[in-house]
Amino acid sequence: MKSTKNISDLVLVRHGQSEWNQKNLFTGWKNPSLTLKGKKEAEKTGENLKGKNIAFDIHYTSELKRAQLTGEIILSILKQESIKTIKNIALNERNYGDLSGLNKDDARKKWGEKQVHTWRRSFDEPPPGGESLKDTAERVIPYFKNVIKPNLENNNILICAHGNSLRALVMHIEEISSEEIVKLEIATGEPIFYKVKNKEIYKI
């Protein structure tokens, strides 16, 4: 269904399982593709969205191919491949810095379970050479407010991105505290649905 006056749909989707998710590696800004499971997750999301009868107008995604491919698969299932796709680095995953490419278990052995957990789940402590969730939010939220949100009034929007960039978006949209947002898990391929009415965003 096309957006009606003052009512639009906003759907957030984390990319399907990547090759490095499968290998238990810190990924960040590295650029692996989807696994077969990840492609199937994207297909399942596309089928799920079919039942919602949403005609998307704009697809926003990151500059990383696992998110881009997830969006392409979803839009293909929906037969909406021709809509505008906008790629921007602001929607990239957290940069994990020195952790990027490392096996998570090996990282725990090197730095200790507690320290790695702090880097992964604190709001404002980044890993060496990388970003915290706070840093990620400081690029994601302004992009959403200045670029995406103005288009929500008359457009249905799909955002395919990453666990932490979407966590930052959810924190902003749902006004979740920094203490609580770090506990939020966003599964690969699982959509989050919002309605937009009179410039206000509501979770459904």
Which residues form the catalytic set?
15, 93
Sort strands 200-203 and 84-87 into parallel, antiparallel or unpaired.
unpaired
Cβ-contact 94, 181 below 8 angstroms: no
Cβ-contact 28, 99 below 8 angstroms: yes
Strand partners, 11: 158, 193
Which amino acid is located at 172 in the chain? H
Strand partners, 61: 87, 160
| Residue of 111, 142, 143, 145 lying closest to 125 (CA atoms) | 111
Residues in the chain: 204
Nearest 10 degrees: Cα torsion 18, 80, 47, 171: 60
